[in-house]
Structure 1
Amino acid sequence: MNPAQALRDIAFHLERAGEPTYRVRAFRQAAAVVDKQDPEALAVRARAGTLTALRGIGKATAGVIEDVLAGREPAYHAKLTEPELPDGGPLRSALRGDCHTHSDWSDGGSSIGEMAAAGRALGHEWMVLTDHSPRLTVANGLSAERLLRQMDVVAEANEVLAPFRLLHGIEVDILDDGALDQREDLLARLDFVVASVHSKLRMPAKEMTPRMLAAVAHPRVRVLGHCTGRLRSRRPESEFDAEAVFAACREHGVAVEINSRPERLDPPMRLLRLATDLGCDFAIDSDAHAPGQLDWQVYGCERAQRAGIGPDRVINTRTADALLDDA
């Protein structure tokens, strides 16, 4: 393993452990710096102890580089701890892609290319990039102009990564009246739309229910994202008429997302079973904000199997062409 690979490997494991984005970014940025250095000059700096003079190399990342160049296992590895993931069973093996991922264009920690390459390395055939929409300023949501520029970046990534396909989507905020937070002409140009509530999560059910029903009825919406908005132990579930919303999802061909982020695991099992009984389809998504989080899908797979959901009801098991044909 070379120093850049070692730094990225550590970043990957930090991501899987849910470590803060700034810490992960430090290792990925250091790897990018190493990529640009002459290997012999890098080795000279390592021997002289001057790696931290390079902008983007700190004490911890310099230690990893020095260990690798000296032929040692990086000492930083001893600091890495991460939860043991479930294996996801046969449902994980049936997944072909992921419908909900983020890059550093919004609130993710890695580039579009890095996210797509990591998805391919996991064995995915396709992945949907769904950065946030403009109103979510805290997550650096994409204006119409930035979304247009991102289309070119996605096209370039597909040229490099083919036959893997990066589908261009958006996680669009559901506004207070149920409208979607992006221009209609741009939504029409995207491959995929995930619609999620991110604001006024404590809205009374009598207002939240029609808000969600309006979004689900929008012809461009393919997935209802993290429907209760809960953060386990930190934020309670939003209140809405779940039977009405899930019935509308079934009627309009909108998949209910099984959000696999460990702090979300949304919807909770009682609602997941309700959606199953009502005949909904599902999207098992990582909601990854970094490459190391992409294989969090196994959490969603485990929960889907507990609810009795088979591969035929999970849209991630479809080919990219079939996914797009169903739009």
Structure 2
Amino acid sequence: MAVAEDAEAQAAWHPVAALRRIAFLLERGREDTYKVKAFRAAAAAILPLGDDEVRRRAAAGTLTELSGVGASSARVIEQAVAGTVPERLAGLEQQHAGPLASGGEQLRAALRGDLHSHSDWSDGGSPIEEMAFTALELGHEYLVLTDHSPRLKVARGLSAERLTRQLGVVDAVNEHLDGSFRLLKGIEVDILDDGSLDQSDEMLARLELRVASVHSKLAMDREQMTRRMVAAVRHPRSNVLGHCTGRLVTGARGTRAQSAFDAEAVFTACREEGVAVEINARPERRDPPTALLELARDLGCLFSIDSDAHAPGQLDFLDHGCARAQQAGIEADRIVNTWSIERLLGWANR
């Protein structure tokens, strides 16, 4: 499946590819999760079947006898088997396939990968393989898998044991790829109250890149929060300071005020330590706010434009972050995920 293709221009869709594309577009358009799950479940249900079996069931009208295939997904499969573009797919292409943001096209073209993504090992909605393959289809050269660390129990944060198992899965995924794309071993590690990181130094050393983020006590006293963040930034294994204010400006989770801290002190530490300030591209975050983004720019910080994707379709949220970075006048070479994988890993593990 070529995620970036226009469905109308594709002569024929394999049913699995059509179902995956529909799920991708629903996620990209931030539609209800239950709809996404329905189409992904249908794709999983027919994937093990041979094409002949799928065609036979489509002709006999027995697709809905398969667990995971409902009436809507059955129609998509039947239309794809018949060699036509499924109506549901064509409608979603019109609705959700266009640019997600105005501006930032040059930076988006310069990005080689994404440093912040989640799978169903923590609070993401899709398997590691689906996240990796979608990133490959989008033209990424690399994607860093950054599931949560142990303290964030609400997000099923990974213990050292689970993270160790996950590293083996990442190796297996990379073994099946042709070398033009690489899934990188990472973590979104919680910044604890005292500024330490929520994973052992031994485990952090086994990873290729680490995003450090505050997820708790976001209303902490300004001076305490500043000390906490500066300490995390100065940890020798920190690479990216994730969604630094923790704010939410819209969305189903409601809104949340930004944390108070001495931004100049924190961003100065980032510059001194070579830690990138994340431009979190999720529409509900827009973090850091514009004034802080411009301050980090003026202080000479590096940046990382990240989707913080929790589903394959959200990997395209990078559009939002690129528009903001271009509007702020941030040069491409200061954005670490415009770098080659060799340069990126050299920086992250210096």
Band the TM-score falls in, shorter-chain normalisation: over 0.9
Per the alignment, residue 135 of structure 2 pairs with: 119
- Which of 93, 118, 126 does residue 110 from structure 1 map onto? 126
Is 1:313 the counterpart of 2:319? The answer is: no
Per the alignment, residue 270 of structure 1 pairs with: 291
Query: For residues 171-320 of structure 1, what are the structure 2 equivalents within 5 Å?
Result: 171-233=188-250, 234-320=255-341
The aligned amino acid for 1:54 is L
Cα deviations across residues 250-281 of structure 1 (Å, max 9, x unaligned)? 11110000011111111111110011011111
Query: For residues 135-150 of structure 1, what are the structure 2 equivalents within 5 Å?
Result: 135-150=151-166
The aligned amino acid for 1:284 is I
Per the alignment, residue 76 of structure 1 pairs with: 88
Tell me: CA distance 1:250–1:158, structure 2 relative to 1, closer, same or farther (3 Å).
Answer: same
Query: How many percent of aligned residue pairs carry the same amino acid?
Result: 62
Over aligned residues, Cα RMSD in angstroms?
Answer: 1.6
Q: Distance in 2 between matches of 1:62 and 1:281?
A: 48
Aligned residues: 327
TM-score with structure 1 setting the length: 0.95
Q: Distance in 2 between matches of 1:257 and 1:123?
A: 21
Is 1:58 the counterpart of 2:41? The answer is: no
Q: Distance in 2 between matches of 1:41 and 1:125?
A: 36
8 Å contact 1:25–1:110 — kept in the other structure? Answer: no
Q: Distance in 2 between matches of 1:54 and 1:298?
A: 37
8 Å contact 1:195–1:215 — kept in the other structure? Answer: yes
Q: Distance in 1 between matches of 2:90 and 2:143?
A: 32
Alpha-carbon deviation of 1:90? Answer: 1.7
Cα deviations across residues 182-228 of structure 1 (Å, max 9, x unaligned)? 12210011001100111111222122111111111110010000001
8 Å contact 1:24–1:109 — kept in the other structure? Answer: no
Q: Distance in 2 between matches of 1:202 and 1:20?
A: 30
Q: Distance in 1 between matches of 2:38 and 2:209?
A: 31
Q: Distance in 1 between matches of 2:136 and 2:226?
A: 37
TM-score with structure 2 setting the length: 0.89
Q: Secondary structure at the match of 1:171?
A: strand
Superposed structure 1 runs of 4+ greater than 6 Å apart: none
Alpha-carbon deviation of 1:79? Answer: 5.7
8 Å contact 2:21–2:89 — kept in the other structure? Answer: no
Is 1:9 the counterpart of 2:21? The answer is: yes
Alpha-carbon deviation of 1:145? Answer: 0.8
Q: Distance in 2 between matches of 1:274 and 1:242?
A: 8
Per the alignment, residue 90 of structure 1 pairs with: 106
Q: Distance in 2 between matches of 1:20 and 1:150?
A: 28
Q: Distance in 1 between matches of 2:141 and 2:201?
A: 28
Q: Secondary structure at the match of 1:101?
A: coil
Q: Secondary structure at the match of 1:166?
A: strand
Q: Distance in 2 between matches of 1:133 and 1:22?
A: 26
| More deviation, 101-110/76-85 | 76-85
The aligned amino acid for 1:110 is S
8 Å contact 2:104–2:327 — kept in the other structure? Answer: no
Q: Secondary structure at the match of 2:283?
A: coil
The aligned amino acid for 1:124 is H
Specify every segment of 5 or more residues in structure 1 that has no aligned partner in the other structure, as ranges. Answer: none
Alpha-carbon deviation of 1:67? Answer: 2.4
- Which of 174, 180, 189 does residue 158 from structure 1 map onto? 174
Q: Distance in 1 between matches of 2:279 and 2:19?
A: 31
Alpha-carbon deviation of 1:78? Answer: 6.3
Q: Secondary structure at the match of 1:194?
A: strand
The aligned amino acid for 1:228 is T
Specify every segment of 5 or more residues in structure 2 that has no aligned partner in the other structure, as ranges. Answer: 1-12
| More deviation, 228-237/264-273 | 228-237
- Which of 36, 41, 44 does residue 32 from structure 1 map onto? 44
Q: Distance in 2 between matches of 1:38 and 1:117?
A: 21
8 Å contact 2:18–2:89 — kept in the other structure? Answer: no
Per the alignment, residue 5 of structure 2 pairs with: none
Alpha-carbon deviation of 1:46? Answer: 2.4
